[in-house]
């Protein structure tokens, strides 16, 4: 029987990770859950994020997934260290893959990290980078207005650039040569971030790295799909399936028609 990769996020942004998973693992089935009824997670407390994450994982386990990919940076930084020990299924988050890639990429050992308030306050990326190389300087900046801009489809507008200039000034002043896009939505703002920071700055897209890590685990654990039939792609949300479908194309590159509304705790 086919067993899918389970992916969850606070909402629609995790589709940036799904896009990469499909690209790197085209034969694998994917079951996605977006907690659109309770988004955003980025401003919520640690206890709440842990509770929501456990509920989302239990929902995916009921769908018999073989691995869970936490696409959300906020969940990965706040909840993952606590919840990982409670489940037997492999759970992959976005922090270590992104941090590793940034440490590999930086030449001047000055790395910028941008994310939601919760992600930045957790200092998860910073701690992971420092574990890998304690001599690296990390400059972190929360960019809370980026998520609503992306969800409005504002990717290149003047207003986005003006806000980006303010948010990114400390990173520019610190002469970082590498920036971790520590939020599901930020890969869609790559063009504007490059415009503000200059084309030489390396942008680390955690979606790419996490898909590579999932591939590695499936390979190590002998979990690759053996069946050659068409892989399934199922999309569940906790609210607003039409809203999700409307935005999905922007994140995934193609429209998602069948989105099912579920209550993860029922
Ligand atoms: N998915 C979240 C993240 O990657 C962004 C949206 C939210 O705040 O829930 O941090």
User: DSSP string spanning the chain?
Assistant: ---PEEEEESSSTTHHHHHHHHHH-TTS-EEEEE-TTT---TTS-HHHHHHHHHHHHHHHHHTT-SEEEE--HHHHHHTHHHHGGG-SS-EE-SHHHHHHHHHHH-SSSEEEEEE-HHHHHHTHHHHHHHHH-TT-EEEEEE-TTHHHHHHTT-SS-HHHHHHHHHHHHHHHHTT-SEEEEESTTGGGGHHHHHHHH-TTSEEEEHHHHHHHHHHHHHHHTT------SPPPEEEEESS-HHHHHHHHHHHHSS----EEE--TT-
* Nearest protein Cα to ligand 1, atom 6: 40
Query: How far is ligand 1, taken at its centre, from the CA of residue 230, in Å?
Result: 31
Our mutation pick for probing the ligand 1 site, out of 7, 53, 72, 251, counting the most ligand atoms within 8 A of Cβ, is: 72
By CB atoms closer than 10 A (0-12, 13-18, 19+), residue 131 is exposed
Give buried/exposed letters for 138-167 (b at 16+ CB in 10 A, else e): bbbbbbbebbebbbeebeeeeebeebbeeb
CA of 166 to the centre of ligand 1 (A): 20
Instruction: Ligand 1, residue 183: give the atom nearest the CA.
Output: 4
| Residue 200 burial by Cβ neighbours in a 10 Å radius (0-12, 13-18, 19+) | exposed
Q: CA 227 to CA 132: how far, in whole Å?
A: 38
Q: Which pLDDT score is estimated for 2?
A: 64
Catalytic residues: 72, 183
Per-residue pLDDT of the chain (266 residues; tens, 9 = 90+): 569 999 999 999 999 999 999 999 999 999 999 999 999 999 999 999 999 999 999 999 999 999 999 999 999 999 998 999 899 999 999 999 999 999 999 999 999 999 999 999 999 999 999 999 999 999 999 999 999 999 888 999 999 999 999 999 999 999 999 999 999 999 999 999 999 999 999 999 888 889 999 999 999 999 898 877 889 999 999 999 999 999 999 899 888 989 999 998 87
Checking phi first, is residue 222 left (phi over 0); if not, alpha (psi -120 to 50) or beta?
Answer: left
Ordered structural domains, the chain, with CATH? 5-93+208-261 (3.40.50.1860), 95-205 (3.40.50.1860)
pLDDT of residue 38: 95
Q: Are strands 233-237 and 259-261 parallel, antiparallel or unpaired?
A: parallel
Whether 73 is in the pocket of ligand 1, judged by its Cβ within 6 Å, is yes
Report pLDDT for 253.
Answer: 87
The β-bridge partners of 31 are: 6, 234
Q: Please tell me the residue having the least CA distance from ligand 1 atom 1.
A: 72
CA of 16 relative to ligand 1 center, distance in Å: 12
């Amino acid at each position: 029987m086919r067993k899918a990769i389970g992916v969850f996020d606070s909402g629609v942004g995790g589709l940036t990770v799904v896009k990469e998973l499909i690209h790197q693992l085209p034969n694998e089935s994917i079951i996605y859950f977006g907690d659109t009824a309770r988004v955003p997670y980025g401003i919520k407390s640690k206890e709440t994020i842990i509770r929501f994450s456990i509920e989302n994982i239990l929902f995916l386990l009921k769908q018999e997934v073989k691995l869970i990919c936490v696409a959300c940076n906020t969940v990965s930084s706040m909840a993952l260290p606590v919840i990982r020990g409670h489940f037997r299924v492999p759970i992959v988050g976005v922090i270590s893959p992104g941090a590793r890639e940034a440490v590999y990429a930086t030449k001047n050992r000055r790395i910028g990290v941008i994310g939601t308030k919760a992600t930045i306050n957790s200092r998860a990326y910073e701690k992971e980078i420092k574990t890998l190389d304690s001599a690296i300087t990390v400059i972190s900046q929360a960019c809370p207005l980026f998520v609503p801009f992306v969800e409005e489809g504002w990717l290149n507008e003047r207003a986005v650039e003006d806000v980006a200039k303010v948010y990114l000034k400390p990173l520019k002043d610190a002469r970082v040569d590498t920036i971790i896009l520590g939020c599901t939505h930020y890969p869609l703002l790559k063009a504007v971030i490059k415009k503000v920071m200059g084309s030489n700055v390396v942008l680390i897209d955690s979606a790419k790295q996490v898909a590579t890590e999932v591939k590695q685990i499936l390979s190590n654990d002998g979990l690759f799909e053996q069946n050659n039939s068409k892989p399934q792609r199922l999309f569940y949300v906790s609210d607003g399936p039409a809203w999700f479908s409307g935005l999905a194309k922007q994140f995934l590159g193609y429209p998602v028609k069948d989105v099912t509304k579920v209550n993860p705790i029922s």
